[in-house]
Amino acid sequence: ISPDDEPAAIAAKLAAQEIDAIEKTARGLDASALDRVALALVAARHIDLFGQAASSLTAQDLQQKLARIGCSAAHSADPHLAVTTASLRSSQDVVIGFSHGGETAEVVRALEVGRDAGALSVAITSAGDSTLALAADIALLTHAQESPFRMAAMSSRIAQLALTLERLRWLPPPP
């Protein structure tokens, strides 16, 4: 997208970028890792979801979808509350951190606290060598490239949502 693009060209480029993010994420998916996470979610006593800014929206969306299938899940946009709830987790729980670049300090910290408390920790990021991915027990990678304008982190959010929804729709209800 360039500043000189007409509205129709911008819309076409945005649509192509979103489709590309979903297709690349689906092609690069580690299916066994996704299955491990999905089964852990269904079995979990509680799931904490961490994300800031645009990734917070993905966390909120997943929280609602998990609640609809009967899973206990929570997300707080307040990073202090996220760390506090993460410290209450155990081996019966799952914590998931969302960050496109994998370097959002608040998300990394909450994930580390949850992991150290015993929870299965999952990173959803586009950077496999990021601090978030390396801190997690399991990293699920998205493949989204944001435009230089980074208007609301659209591609990364779409890829994160596609990744979480891909397996979630086939999950059995929790016991």
* pLDDT value of position 19: 75
In the chain, % of residues over pLDDT 90: 50
* pLDDT value of position 168: 59
Q: Is the pLDDT of residue 11 over 90?
A: no
What is the pTM assigned to this prediction?
Answer: 0.82
Q: Is the pLDDT of residue 9 over 70?
A: yes
* pLDDT value of position 173: 59
Average pLDDT over residues 23-43: 84
Q: Is the pLDDT of residue 161 over 70?
A: no
In this structure, which long-range contacts are made by residues 9-16, counting pairs with CB atoms below 8 Å and at least 24 apart in sequence?
14/154
Instruction: Give the range among 70-74, 75-79, 107-111, 147-151 with minimum mean pLDDT.
Output: 147-151
Q: pLDDT tens digit string along 109-119?
A: 999 999 999 99
Between 53 and 168, the more confident residue is: 53
Average pLDDT over residues 45-50: 98
Between 91 and 175, the more confident residue is: 91
Q: Is the pLDDT of residue 126 over 70?
A: yes
Nearest-angstrom CA–CA distance, 2 and 9: 10
